[in-house]
């Protein structure tokens, strides 16, 4: 083959290879540009939630409002039932603790009153060997102290424990009534509308200290004024 034809064939092959490489590079560049141009559209960012819409959603959420009459009846029927109905569970240990303390005091004072009452009856009947007196007094106490003094001591102890027993009963009733009143007041105040217009203001002022009907002297003095708006 003559040299000119061979050189022309090599030039054609070189151009074909170059065009193929150029086409591949162009295709890669177009694909990369298309991916970059479409990536912002594929990423969806959720819209921000405004504070006003969140507050509105919380305000429109269902809120439990207890009925004062029902809370009172629950507290009357079941001790602590009003607090359970009002969903104030943290008050239950206080109420039941008060009932438990009053019940313990009532039981203890009632037992001591019964023992001293029986001992006083035996002492009044001169039955100094009875178990009610022997169990309460130290050994040999009846031989060292006069019987009249022991009888008087037993009477005072009997009256003291009877008074304590009665006080324990009143305390038990008091805890019960307090639980009922607390259940009613708590249910009543749960529907109380606390307006945001409440404000307190403290500022200096001039106070008029001059009595009415008296003139001719300065009756003003500096002071502090406290005002509450609701």
pLDDT in tens, 147-188: 899 999 999 999 999 999 999 999 999 999 999 999 999 998
CB–CB of 175/98 below 8 Å? yes
Q: Is residue 57 part of a domain?
A: no
Q: Is residue 215 part of a domain?
A: no
Q: Is residue 76 part of a domain?
A: yes
76 and 3, same structural domain?
A: no
Which residues does 224 contact at the CB level (< 8 Å), separation at least 6?
Answer: 202, 203, 204, 205
106 and 10, same structural domain?
A: no
Does residue 2 have a pLDDT over 80?
no
Does residue 107 have a pLDDT over 80?
yes
181 and 112, same structural domain?
A: yes
Cα–Cα distance for residue pair 5/18, rounded to 1 Å: 20
Q: Is residue 5 part of a domain?
A: yes
What is the extent of the structural domain holding 6? 1-31
Higher confidence at residue 115 or residue 191? 115
Mean of pLDDT over the chain: 76
74 and 185, same structural domain?
A: yes
In this prediction, residues 60-72 reach a mean pLDDT of 81
Higher confidence at residue 16 or residue 102? 102
Does residue 127 have a pLDDT over 80?
yes
119 and 15, same structural domain?
A: no
Q: What is the pLDDT of residue 34?
A: 44
The number of folded domains in the chain is 2
Q: What is the pLDDT of residue 74?
A: 93
Cα–Cα distance for residue pair 128/184, rounded to 1 Å: 55
In this prediction, residues 195-205 reach a mean pLDDT of 65
CA torsion 218→224→226→227, rounded to 10°? 50
155 and 77, same structural domain?
A: yes
95 and 169, same structural domain?
A: yes
CB–CB of 115/124 below 8 Å? no
184 and 76, same structural domain?
A: yes
């Amino acid at each position: 083959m003559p040299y000119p034809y061979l050189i022309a064939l090599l030039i054609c092959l070189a151009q074909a290879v170059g065009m193929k490489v150029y086409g591949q590079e162009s295709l890669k560049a177009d694909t990369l540009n298309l991916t970059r141009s479409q990536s912002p559209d594929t990423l969806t960012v959720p819209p921000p939630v405004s504070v006003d819409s969140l507050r509105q959603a919380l305000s429109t959420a269902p809120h439990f409002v207890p009925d004062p009459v029902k809370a009172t009846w629950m507290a009357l029927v079941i001790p602590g039932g009003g607090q359970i109905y009002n969903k104030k569970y943290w008050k239950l240990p206080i109420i039941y603790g008060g009932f438990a303390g009053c019940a313990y005091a009532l039981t203890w004072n009632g037992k001591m009153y019964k023992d001293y009452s029986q001992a006083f009856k035996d002492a009044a009947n001169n039955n100094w060997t009875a178990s009610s007196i022997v169990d309460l007094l130290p050994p040999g106490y009846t031989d060292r102290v006069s019987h009249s003094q022991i009888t008087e001591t037993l009477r005072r102890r009997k009256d003291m424990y009877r008074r304590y027993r009665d006080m324990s009963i009143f305390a038990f009733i008091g805890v019960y009534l307090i639980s009922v009143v607390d259940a009613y007041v708590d249910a009543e105040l749960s529907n109380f509308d606390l307006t945001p217009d409440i404000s307190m203001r403290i500022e200096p002022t001039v106070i008029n200290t001059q009595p009415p009907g008296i003139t001719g002297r300065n009756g003003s003095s500096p002071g502090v004024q406290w005002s509450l708006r609701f």
